[in-house]
Amino acid sequence: MYGALNVHWGDVFQLEYGNQKLPGNGGLMIWACSARFGSHSKQTGSFTAIGGDSYVAAIEFSNPIRAMTLNSYGNSTQPNSQHNGDQLIVVCTNAITSSVAIASRNSSPFRGTSSI
């Protein structure tokens, strides 16, 4: 179907939002992948995400408690906003480090940057 056996996954599964088109790293919802998205077949033979995981959170119950979150398509639907689709590249690279909340069990939460 693709003319070779060594086709890259991201050449077949792609994430599109606004003017961005990036290689995807998930799969069809029926495959029970960790990063799932619904998709439709395009005439090119590739699949483009049309739904699926839009919010992901990883929480570490340690002291201090750490949490990382990702809003896959950014935090804006305004076409000219700098936050329109700004986290899509983070999804494609599996680097969920862009939004972190850090809190101690004995203190108030504060915003910071970290990675688990």
| pLDDT tens, residue by residue, 9-42 | 778 777 777 677 777 766 666 555 555 556 666 6
Residue 77 maps to a domain: yes
Residue 115 maps to a domain: no
The pTM score is: 0.50
Residue 34 maps to a domain: yes
Domain total of the chain: 1
Residue 101 maps to a domain: yes
Residue 62 maps to a domain: yes
Q: Is residue 80 helix, strand or coil?
A: coil
Q: Give the number of other Cβ atoms within 10 Å of residue 13's Cβ.
A: 21
Residue 88 maps to a domain: yes
Judge whether 57 and 89 are in contact, CB under 8 Å: no
Q: Which pLDDT band, with edges at 50, 70 and 90, does 74 fall under?
A: low
Residue 114 maps to a domain: no
* Residue 16: domain span: 9-107
Residue 51 maps to a domain: yes
Residue % of the chain over a pLDDT of 70: 47
Place of tokens 């119950």: 61
Mean pLDDT, the chain, integer: 67
Is the pLDDT score of 71 beyond 60? yes
